Amino acid sequence: MKPVTLAIVGAGSRGAGYATYAEAHPDMAQVTAVAEPREHYRDHIADTYSVAPERVFSDWRQLADQPRLADAALICTQDAMHVEPAVALAAKGYDLLLEKPMAPDEAGCRQIVEAAVEAGVIFAVCHVMRYTTYTQALKKMLDDGLIGEVVSLQHLEPVGSWHQAHSFVRGNWGNEAASSPMLLAKSCHDLDWLRYVMGESCESIQSFGTLVHFRAEERPATAGERCLECEYEPQCPYSAKRIYLGRVEKGHTGWPVNVLTPDTTTEGVTEALRTGPYGRCVYACDNDVVDNQVVNILFRGGKTASFCMEGLSQGGHRKTYLFGTRGQIYGDGRYLKRFDFLTEETETVDTEAGDASILGGHGGGDLGLMQSFVEAVAHRDQSRVLSGPKETLETHLMVFAAEKSRRQNSVVTM
């Protein structure tokens, strides 16, 4: 079979990361077009994959104005910039791989799904947690009935204190009006994962969430506007100097450092901290998304789940307890520990993916996603995608219902 051809729409961290699948598997996929407004990132894709100059665009609209230049489009723009290119490129016949979330509101999500279904294109959203070796091992244990029928689930996402400060205070997803609520921007992965693991539809949902710490009221008296010029900085756990320059000193210039600037030298990062958004005091930003949130879910059949997003945490892998009629499972993102009620014995399964590449990210979920999508496009088989249009829309609607509950202090029926 000929390689599947890909157009990269949005060549930032995620777009460039997914594109590396073509670099690692040139027999399966090739990048043949790119649309990106920032010259450095656009040129990186064009140069890396030898994209012809006439297929390099500064705006997705220029790509959409051309005859179809690839089999599929990978839409990795910012959250609020998904609807227009997705609808337009679906109409052109491009199969679509769409970075999560689909859109920051219900209307946008429905518009994208309707466009994809009407055009009859292969459609996938980057809910990479479904594709990890860990999740697939867990799913098999559940499908094999190893703990009987699942009755209840507890799930924790420890975002991590520095990650919260990087992405959801100083970064692109700190302000709801400019991006989306925290639950959608960060944890739509998790609600989608809960739906996948439980295997049932959500009937009702309830949520509480607040912004407790990253506020002006919590600002130390001696704190400055920027970390480079701040008396309190040496005592601050959220110091931009420590988070970014500390990584540069250790030779770590990938994410999150390369988000600040293409120049990841000490001088380049220092200048970005002096002038850019990532050098701001975390107590003096325009952020308004929550730093903690809980969601309670009633699934069909009386099954229940609780989810906690904790921005103020050590970080690391998500933690999950699943309780069934014949046993329970504890998972930490790598190990699955199953306790059997009958034998009272514990079995431990190691699901380590062992891949340090970009596509090894999210426990191998990025690679699994790309493999599934490329195979679906090559074979014209939507079933090879684990996050198709119908169920993806359903899990986005769960997020919107949870946000409605949080704002209205109510239980929302789906």
Kindly report, residue by residue over 237-250, the tens digit of the pLDDT: 999 999 999 999 99
What pLDDT is attached to residue 358?
43
Residue spans of alpha helices (H) in 147-187 = 161-165, 182-185
Q: What are phi and psi of 140, to 5 degrees?
A: -65, -40
Summarize the confidence of residues 369-385 as an average pLDDT.
96
Share of the chain above pLDDT 70, in %: 97
pTM for the model: 0.90
**C-alpha distance across the termini of the chain, in Å:** 43
Question: How far apart are alpha carbons 284 and 218 in whole angstroms?
Answer: 10
Which of the four pLDDT bands, split at 50, 70 and 90, describes residue 388?
Answer: confident
What pLDDT is attached to residue 172?
92
Q: Which residues contact 164 (CB under 8 A, 6 or more apart)?
A: 214, 291, 311, 312
Summarize the confidence of residues 61-78 as an average pLDDT.
97
Nearest to 387 by CA among 365, 358, 413: 365
Indicate the average pLDDT of the chain: 95
What pLDDT is attached to residue 362?
52
Kindly report, residue by residue over 318-333, the tens digit of the pLDDT: 999 999 999 999 999 9
DSSP 45-111: HHHHTT--GGGEESSHHHHHTSSP-SSEEEE-S-GGGSHHHHHHHHHTT-EEEEPSSS-SSHHHHHH
Among 23-27, 77-81, 201-205, 392-396, name the one with the lowest average pLDDT: 77-81
Q: Which residues contact 35 (CB under 8 A, 6 or more apart)?
A: 7, 8, 9, 10, 42, 57, 58, 59, 60, 62, 63
Summarize the confidence of residues 127-148 as an average pLDDT.
96
Summarize the confidence of residues 382-404 as an average pLDDT.
95
Summarize the confidence of residues 112-122 as an average pLDDT.
97
Q: Which domains does the chain have, with CATH numbers?
A: 4-121 (3.40.50.720), 129-214+287-355+387-413 (3.30.360.10), 216-279 (no CATH)
Kindly report, residue by residue over 277-331, the tens digit of the pLDDT: 999 999 999 999 999 999 999 999 999 999 999 999 999 999 999 999 999 999 9
Which of the four pLDDT bands, split at 50, 70 and 90, describes residue 171?
Answer: very high
What pLDDT is attached to residue 363?
62
Q: What are phi and psi of 67, to 5 degrees?
A: -60, 155
Question: How far apart are alpha carbons 290 and 282 in whole angstroms?
Answer: 14
